[in-house]
Amino acid sequence: MDDKPNPEALNENSEHLFSFGVIADIQYADLEDGFNFQGTRRRYYRHSLLHLQGAIEDWNNESSTPCCVLQLGDIIDGYNAQYNASEKSLEVVMDTFKKLKVPVHHTWGNHEFYNFRREYLTHSKLNTKFLEDQIEHHPETMPSEDYYAYHFVPFPKFRFILLDAYDLSVLGMDQSSPKYEQCMKILKEHNPNTELNSPQGLSEPQFVQFNGGFSQEQLNWLNEVLTFSDTNQEKVVIVIWRSEV
Pairwise CA distance, residues 131 & 216, whole Å: 24
State mean pLDDT over 66-92: 97
Q: How many Cα neighbours within 13 Å face the side chain of 55?
A: 23
Domain ranges of the chain: 19-130
**Dihedral angle sign, alpha carbons of residues 102, 108, 110, 116:** positive
More confidently predicted of 216 and 8: 216
Q: Is the pTM of this model over 0.85?
A: yes
Look up residue 93 and give its amino acid.
V
**Percent of the chain predicted with pLDDT > 90:** 86
Q: How far apart are the first and last CA of the chain?
A: 39
Pairwise CA distance, residues 75 & 115, whole Å: 10
pLDDT 10s digits, 85-133: 999 999 999 999 999 999 999 999 999 999 999 999 999 999 999 999 9
Residue 4 has pLDDT above 60, yes or no: no
Q: What is the pLDDT, as a whole number, of residue 233?
A: 98
**What is the rounded (10 degree) CA torsion for 49, 52, 53, 54?**
120
Inter-CA distances, 177 with 41, 80, 170, 180, 182, Å:
36, 26, 10, 5, 9
- Please give the radius of gyration of the chain, using alpha carbons only, rounded to the nearest integer: 20
Cα–Cα nearest to 69, from 143, 164, 162, 166: 162
Q: How many Cα neighbours within 13 Å face the side chain of 148?
A: 30
Q: Are 70 and 109 in contact (CB under 8 A)?
A: no
Residue 245 has pLDDT above 80, yes or no: no
- The CATH H-level superfamily of 19-130 is Metallo-dependent phosphatases (3.60.21.10)
Residue 8 has pLDDT above 60, yes or no: no
Pairwise CA distance, residues 231 & 217, whole Å: 21
Q: What is the pLDDT, as a whole number, of residue 241?
A: 86
Q: How many Cα neighbours within 13 Å face the side chain of 103?
A: 13
